Amino acid sequence: MNAKYSNSFIVPLFVSLMLFAARSRSEELPTLRTWTTVTGQSAEANFVKYENGFVSFRSPDGREVSMPLHQLSPDDRTEVLRLAAEKEAQVGLMPEEEITRPTGRREVTWRELEEGDHWPAFMPANVREAALSMPRPWRHAESKYFVIHFQQLGFARQAARMADFQYQFIASDLPGYEDRYREKSHIVIFRNREEWQDFLRRSNHASAWSAAFVSGRMMYIQDFGNMETNAHIMAHEMSHLVLNRFFRHQPPLWLNEGLAEWYGHIGYQSFKGQRANPWRAMGRLRNGYELETLFSMRTYPANREDVTRYYRTSQQVVGLLMQEKEHRDFVRFLQAITVEGKAPMVALREVYGFESVAEVQQAFDRFIR
């Protein structure tokens, strides 16, 4: 707000806050505080932000008003500056609390961030330059577990809600793992396919066929304009992003993609409030890879059809391992690779008793019949 306030205008502002508080006493927020002006007027409200000499408050019923900082009492001016510094320091940091399994769909904890440089230091410079070259300006927001960069609000809020849910869902499904980072991951959302393709070209991304991708603690995704497509791709990529935060040693490519497909399906079903049924989501595997070939691959196949075969086969192998023993055994197998750094066949032998790839293939053939 650029207008200058006279001392006489402060009274209507605080009268408004007092009226809002009186009407909404039953909806008080936990950080509600009594604020006092230099003229002795008082009202209860929540601090929202301090910017360019003006402080904003929100009344218990959600109404927001702003006023110059110098018109508050000296003690309250000090409190505003303290709260502003505390709020600024918390931007982009993960909450310090135990992760519990989410139940049903829920609204996202969302707040748009003020103008400024909210891009993370761990984002590669060439990728950041490619994103900033887009024709529309970027907006920034923060959910409970992520920082979101977007250009259109609709899908951004949906993506943030799904991302928070998937983070909790996967974290609670892998007991014994801990998030290794204090900083939140960032999700960059492109508004359509054309701008996405332009971004891939400008950033020199290796896979022009990618619909989305995760690199380290960053996710890059486009809005397909279709909720089902958006949700499936978000769930798949969220698995990669969350697992990157948990794993100390990267799993082989087949296990990484198989897990992403597994959690992509059951996580989205749970988000919709449905009972997760991964077997229904997998369906029948036709023309899959032989496991000796699958286990030896270090890069993705060259063409799109083979990429789909690769994903489907990897998902089915994870399904076999999930079914072969209890879930806690699969977690133990995963930890042997991603925490202890053991080779996949060593972990398969220790947890499942498979002595060779041929034995895994025999069990797999029985599983997919």
What string of DSSP letters covers 302-360?
Answer: SSHHHHHHHHHHHHHHHHHHHHHS-HHHHHHHHHHHHTS---HHHHHHHHH---SHHHH
66 lies in the same domain as 190 = no
pTM to 2 decimals? 0.74
pLDDT at 14: 52
pLDDT at 5: 36
Q: Is residue 144 scored above 70 in pLDDT?
A: yes
**Most confidently predicted of 13-17, 41-45, 96-100, 266-270:** 41-45
Name the least confident of 25-39, 153-167, 340-354.
25-39
Residues 188-211: pLDDT tens digits? 999 999 999 999 999 998 777 788
61 lies in the same domain as 151 = no
208 lies in the same domain as 341 = no
Phi, psi for residue 18 in degrees, rounded to 5:
-65, -40
pLDDT at 21: 43
Above pLDDT 70, what percent of the chain? 88
303 against 108, higher pLDDT: 303
Band of residue 317 on the pLDDT scale cut at 50, 70, 90: very high
List the domain range (segments joined by +) for residue 337.
249-369
106 lies in the same domain as 242 = yes
Mean residue pLDDT across the chain: 85
The strand pair at 139-142 and 111-112 is best described as: antiparallel
pLDDT at 176: 87
Last residue of a domain, one of 246, 266, 283: 246
182 against 4, higher pLDDT: 182
pLDDT at 180: 93
> Would 95 be classed as within a structural domain?
no
For residue 48, what is the domain's CATH number? 2.30.30.700
Band of residue 105 on the pLDDT scale cut at 50, 70, 90: low
> Would 316 be classed as within a structural domain?
yes
The rounded distance, in Å, linking the Cα atoms of 15 and 66 is 13
**Residue 292 contacts by C-beta under 8 Å, 6 or more apart in sequence?**
357, 358, 361
pLDDT at 271: 80
106 lies in the same domain as 239 = yes
Angle between helices 357-368 and 304-324 (to 10 degrees): 90
Q: Which two tokens stand for residue 111?
A: 């707040």
> Would 2 be classed as within a structural domain?
no
CB-based contact 262:278 (threshold 8 Å): yes
Q: Is residue 29 scored above 90 in pLDDT?
A: no
> Would 34 be classed as within a structural domain?
yes
pLDDT at 193: 92
pLDDT at 276: 72
pLDDT at 127: 95
> Would 174 be classed as within a structural domain?
yes
Above pLDDT 90, what percent of the chain? 50
Task: Return the SS3 of 148.
Answer: strand
Q: Is residue 28 scored above 50 in pLDDT?
A: no
> Would 145 be classed as within a structural domain?
yes
241 lies in the same domain as 269 = no
DSSP letter for 97, please.
Answer: S
181 lies in the same domain as 118 = yes
For range 152-176, the mean pLDDT: 90
pLDDT at 356: 97
281 lies in the same domain as 317 = yes
The alpha-helical segments, DSSP class H, found in the chain are 10-23, 74-90, 125-132, 153-173, 193-202, 227-246, 253-271, 278-282, 291-296, 304-324, 327-338, 344-352, 357-368
